[in-house]
Amino acid sequence: MRTRLSVLGAALVAAVGLAVTPANPAAAATSTPVIFVHGFIGNGSNWSTALSVFRAGGFTRLYTYDYNWAGSNTISAAGLRDRVNQVKAQTGASKVAIVNHSMGGLVTRYYLEELGGSSSVSHVASIAGANHGTTYAGACLIYASCIEMYPGSLFLLNLAAGDETPGTARYRTWYSACDGIIIPYTSTRLDGATNTNVACETHLGFLTNTSVLTQIRQFIAS
């Protein structure tokens, strides 16, 4: 009788232990909603490879944000704020992760620094981001976005006055000397972020570089 009671007691303890065991950390990490923000002359279709890489890693809450790339980045940032709030309401998540490319870096920075977005974001991954502008924008100054993206613009000076990595989010960038569009290529780096120099990758090549995209997926899952 004592033996049977001991076995029953052990079984109950084990059952209770199972009931209070936290959810799989890996599953919890991949449940983070991820919003992908394209760059100049881009759209959501730019992220087809990235979406495949993230799905292969178990991510299911994946979203893109399309905006008018010719317009002011301040307006695009306000749209990003609305998109983040929409995704949070839809998923019930308190925070999202943001992956951006090229001029999407400026849209993201303005949202985080000027529109209070840092409280809603857990991770920021900037791929070849024009985070401090690029002289290449001199070729498209007929657009408000390019005027703001040109080094020395009032838009960039305003961002420079703030914290480049605000809040408690984790920040990481990927950049390369072979970029060809972000000039200087070091413009992508952010103070306070983990800045990753990729040996040689082109500006658009980053979007299909599965090695880099896998690193980004692992970063957001961490």
Give me the tens of pLDDT residue by residue for the chain, a chain 222 residues long. 444 434 333 332 333 333 333 345 556 678 999 999 999 999 999 999 999 999 999 999 999 999 999 999 999 999 999 999 999 999 999 999 999 999 999 999 999 999 999 999 999 999 999 999 999 999 999 999 999 999 999 999 999 998 999 999 999 999 999 999 999 999 999 999 999 999 999 999 999 999 999 999 999 998
Query: For position 29, what pLDDT does the model report?
Result: 75
Nearest to 125 by CA among 199, 28, 25, 53: 53
Collapsed DSSP state (helix, strand, coil) of residue 204: coil
CA distance 211 to 58: 17
In this prediction, residue 154 carries a pLDDT of: 98
Distances (CA, A) of 69 to 34, 104, 203, 208, 220: 20, 9, 17, 21, 26
Which residues, listed in sequence order, are joined to residue 35 by a DSSP beta bridge? 63, 98
CA distances from 17 to 4, 11, 21, 74 (A): 20, 10, 6, 51
In this prediction, residue 28 carries a pLDDT of 64
Using DSSP bridges, classify how beta strands 34-37 and 194-197 pair: parallel, antiparallel or unpaired. unpaired
**Two tokens, residue 57:** 């890693």
What does the alpha-carbon distance between residue 63 and residue 75 come to, in Å, rounded to a whole number? 19
Sign of CA dihedral 131, 133, 134, 140: positive
The angle subtended at Cα 198 by Cα 121 and Cα 34, nearest 5°, is 25
**Burial tier of 152 (Cβ tally within 10 Å: 0-12, 13-18, 19+):** exposed
Are the beta carbons of 129 and 174 closer than 8 angstroms?
Answer: no
**Separation of alpha carbons 17 and 170, rounded Å:** 33
Give this prediction's pTM: 0.88
